[in-house]
C-alpha cells in the first residue's frame, strides 16, 4: 500500500516528523513549504496556505507527481501571541487565515479526489491550547478550537463516502515554534504536565500515522490529545 500523502508545513517541526513517518512506511509523500526546502527524499511544493491559488497549484502538482491525495495532514500553523487587550485585528486575522482558513482551503481542494475514490484520511493538527485555552493565545486557541468544529462537520458529511476526519491536539512539542519561549515558561509548562516533559515531534507523528492506518478504520470525528496528560483527555 503506497498512498499519496500530503503534509502541509512538512518541511520542518511536527510536519517533517509526520512526513518521515509516512515515507518510512513506503507512502509517496509531498510536503508544502514556503522557502525552506524539505530534506532529500520528500517531494516539496511551494505553497502558502493563505492563498487559494497557491493551494490549487500545489495540490495539482502533487496529483501529477503521486496521484490524487489519499491522506491529508493539515499541519501548517503559526502563533502570534499577545495578551488579549494588546491583540490587534491583524494578529487575529493572520492566525485565523493560516490555521483555520488554510486548513479549510487545502481540505476543500483535496476532498473531490477522495470522494471520487470513495476513501480518504484527513487529520487536522490542532493543539491542547484549543481545548483548555492559554493566556496570551486567545487568537491561536480560537483558531485551533475551530478546527474541531470543522473536522466534526466534515466527519458527518464525508463519513458516508468512506472518508475519516480526525484531530490531534499536541501539547508542548520541541520545535522552532516553542524554541522562542523563555526557558522558565517551558519548565513551568512541563511541571503542569503529568509526564513532566515536552513531546518530541515523532511522538505526535506516530499518532497521526495511526489515524491514517487501517487500524483506525472505524475512527472519525475524534480529537486525540497528545500532550503528556496536560489536558487530562479533554
Give the interface with ligand NDP as residue ranges (CB under 6 A).
Answer: 8-9, 11-15, 32-36, 47-50, 75-78, 98, 102, 125, 127, 170, 172-173, 175-178
Please report where in the chains the cell 497549484 appears, as a residue: 57
**Nearer to ligand NDP among residue 37 and residue 157 (C-beta):** 37
Q: Are 68 and 117 in contact (CB under 8 A)?
A: yes
Compute the least distance from the CB of residue 215 to ligand NDP, in Å. 23
Closest CA to 230 of 180, 170, 147, 162: 170
CB 79 to ligand NDP: min, Å: 7
C-beta closer to ligand NDP: residue 156 or 192 = 192
Please identify which of the residues 140, 170, 207, 227 carries the catalytic annotation.
Answer: 140
The alpha carbon torsion through 7, 12, 18, 24 (nearest 10 deg) reads 110
Q: Are 30 and 52 in contact (CB under 8 A)?
A: no
What CA–CA distance (Å, rounded) separates 196 from 130? Answer: 20
For the purposes of burial, counting CB atoms within 10 Å of the CB of 229, is it exposed (0-12), middle (13-18) or buried (19 or more)?
Answer: middle
Q: Count CB-CB contacts under 10 A for residue 30.
A: 26
The distance of closest approach from Cβ of residue 188 to ligand NDP in the complex, given in angstroms and rounded to an integer, is: 14
In 3D, which of 183, 184, 53, 163 has the Cα closest to residue 106? 53
**Radius of gyration of the chain from Cα atoms?**
17
Give the residue with the Cβ less far from ligand NDP, 50 or 139: 50
At its nearest, how many Å lie between ligand NDP and the CB of residue 213? 20
Residue 140 known to be catalytic? yes
Which C-beta is closer to ligand NDP: that of 51 or that of 213?
A: 51
Q: Any idea which residues carry the catalytic annotation? A: 140
Amino acid at each position: 500500500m503506497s498512498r499519496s500523502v500530503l503534509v502541509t508545513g512538512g518541511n520542518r517541526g511536527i510536519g517533517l516528523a509526520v512526513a518521515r513517518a509516512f515515507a518510512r512506511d513506503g507512502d509517496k509523500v509531498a510536503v508544502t513549504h514556503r522557502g525552506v526546502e524539505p530534506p532529500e527524499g520528500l517531494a516539496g511544493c511551494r505553497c502558502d496556505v493563505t492563498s487559494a491559488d497557491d493551494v490549487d497549484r500545489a495540490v495539482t502538482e502533487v496529483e501529477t507527481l503521486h496521484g490524487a491525495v489519499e491522506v491529508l495532514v493539515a499541519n501548517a500553523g503559526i502563533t502570534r501571541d499577545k495578551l488579549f487587550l494588546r491583540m490587534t485585528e491583524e494578529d487575529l486575522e493572520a492566525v485565523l487565515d493560516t490555521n483555520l482558513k488554510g486548513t479549510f482551503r487545502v481540505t476543500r481542494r483535496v476532498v473531490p479526489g477522495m470522494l471520487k475514490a470513495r476513501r480518504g484520511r484527513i487529520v487536522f493538527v490542532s493543539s491542547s491550547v484549543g481545548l483548555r485555552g492559554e493566556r496570551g493565545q486567545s487568537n491561536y486557541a480560537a483558531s485551533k478550537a475551530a478546527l474541531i468544529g470543522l473536522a466534526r462537520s466534515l466527519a458527518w458529511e464525508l463519513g458516508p463516502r468512506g472518508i475519516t476526519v480526525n484531530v490531534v491536539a499536541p501539547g508542548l512539542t520541541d520545535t522552532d515554534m516553542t524554541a522562542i519561549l523563555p526557558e522558565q515558561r517551558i519548565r513551568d509548562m512541563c511541571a503542569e504536565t503529568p509526564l513532566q516533559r515536552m513531546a518530541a515531534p515523532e511522538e505526535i507523528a506516530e499518532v497521526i500515522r495511526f489515524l491514517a492506518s487501517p487500524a483506525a478504520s472505524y475512527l472519525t470525528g475524534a480529537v486525540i490529545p497528545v500532550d503528556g496528560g496536560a489536558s487530562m483527555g479533554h
